[in-house]
Amino acid sequence: GAGVSQSPSNKVTEKGKDVELRCDPISGHTALYWYRQRLGQGLEFLIYFQGNSAPDKSGLPSDRFSAERTGESVSTLTIQRTQQEDSAVYLCASSSGTGDGYTFGSGTRLTVV
């Protein structure tokens, strides 16, 4: 597609359940990023993938968070045993890796009740 696509756009889940968030990057973009944005806050880096290299997981807040990416395509962010503090908008971005600007998706709004 023309842009970065994220699904679902909204997700309400019960505390303790696992959730999976999906990101479809722009075709041909080798780099993919996940960020979290809590209400009224700035963007918090979580993880990124570059080609077939091992991902940089330095921003993941706990071992309940994990992410996978198959080659240079779809990525999924998984949050296990969700907590209320996980409520946020989760944003995905991709880039060609050449230094040009990154393109963000519209995000998934996660609400843990």
Partner 1 sequence: DAKTTQPTSMDCAEGRAANLPCNHSTISGNEYVYWYRQIHSQGPQYIIHGLKNNETNEMASLIITEDRKSSTLILPHATLRDTAVYYCIVRVAGRIQGAQKLVFGQGTRLTINP
Query: Which residues sit at the interface with partner 1, rule CB under 8 A?
Result: 4, 31, 33, 35, 41-45, 48, 50, 53-56, 58, 91, 93, 97, 99, 101-107
Strands 19-24 and 103-104, bridge-based pairing: unpaired
Compute the least distance from the CB of residue 75 to partner 1, in Å.
Answer: 14
- Closer to partner 1 at the Cβ: 80 or 109? 109
Token pair 């080798």 in the structure block, residue: 30
How far does CA 46 lie from the centroid of its chain? 8
- Which residue, 20 or 56, is less far from partner 1 as judged by CB? 56
Shortest Cβ 17–partner 1 spacing (Å): 25
Strands of the sheet with 19-24, listed across from one edge = 5-7, 19-24, 75-79, 65-69
Q: With contact defined as beta carbons under 8 Å apart, do 55 and 31 qualify?
A: no
Provide, rounded to whole angstroms, the least separation between the CB of residue 58 and partner 1. Answer: 6
By beta-carbon proximity to partner 1, the closer residue of 13 and 103 is 103
